[in-house]
Structure 1
Amino acid sequence: MLNLDRILNQERLLREMTGLNRQAFNELLSQFADTYERTVFNSLANRKRAPGGGRKPTLRSI
């Protein structure tokens, strides 16, 4: 089983799993983190209801 903490702490495993060295991985991580935060904020700002709000789905029986 893969362990994310182990992969991030070992340079060799990080390179094998991502194809990137530590510096390149950290640069991409910062760019993706900024974009992800903006995306989540924008999607939550345009909601009419809170996440999980509204009726729960039900299936009609035949």
Structure 2
Amino acid sequence: MLKLDRVLNQERLLRAMTGLNRQAFNELLSQFADTYERTVFNSLA
């Protein structure tokens, strides 16, 4: 079984699992995190 920390720490494995390089993954992660936080905040309001 793959562990998330292993995937995130190995560039080749990250690309195999996501199709993204480190920079693209981090940019997408940032966008998802922002959207998630806004969604959670709005649901609590």
Q: TM-score, normalised by structure 1?
A: 0.67
Which has the bigger relative contact order, CA under 8 A and spacing at least 6? 2
Residue ranges of structure 2 left out of the alignment (5+ in a row): none
**Runs (5+) with no aligned partner, structure 1:** 44-61
- Greater helix share, structure number: 2
Q: How many residues align?
A: 44
Bigger CA radius of gyration = 1
> Pairwise CA RMSD of aligned residues?
5.7
Give the TM-score, by structure 2 length: 0.91
Poorly superposed stretches of 4+, deviation over 2 Å: none
Amino-acid identity (%): 91
